[in-house]
Structure 1
């Protein structure tokens, strides 16, 4: 009840708790008022500082917040499916590169499939900031 009041939304509503706190939790009664922290990472934290316990209460995220978070987390692809890319395997002693065709879109740091031979299987490479692709395991 206090969690719903602190969050400003009832249980099951966007911005409110997914469900009520499980009554089977055997937490010692807090001698002071519990602290309810603002939501972070889709959960609110209920804390009893005198006894040292805390629980995280999952929240129902509004659809607009989920769409905004997904858009913010997904960077724009540097490489698009069908692009010709340089595929490189390098170590301290050597460097080998070839040209391949991207089989999927990829942003910097993503792992994508590259096909360098029409008859051979694709390889997985890591997209670099400059649009090149390197094979993992080679440094």
Structure 2
């Protein structure tokens, strides 16, 4: 009988812990270190480890790492809706306060000449599965292949539609992201 009375409270404590899984913060931190290319406390890396007191719901899809901005990297789970910002260290020799600061980020591809220029008419394409839809739009900025630019759709031949972000495919062709 003593065994049962001791085990029941232990089971009661363990049950909520098993029912409420949390995001693995060690794995998130490892992904951040890999993405930034610098460790915790190193220039361009995390300023400090992710706060272990955080109890984030487990994200059912891969957590999104947003580029560094304003001295921090943002981690997002779009499926659930949580978002945290993790401070990063300034690079050595970075600009003093009040000036733009460079952070370690993914290497940038070499500069490619734009194939779409601001004001150019472009075909805005959305294709998936067995169908494709395209409309005429006007480029709102220059873009090289693979770049995301703003385009304005046309309505009855007049550029009064809405502004969308599209990926430059080739000269005169852009594709809506999220469609293959």
**TM-score of the superposed pair, with normalisation by structure 2:** 0.37
Higher relative contact order, chain-length normalized (CA < 8 Å, sep 6+): 1
**TM-score of the superposed pair, with normalisation by structure 1:** 0.48
Which has the larger helix fraction? Answer: 2
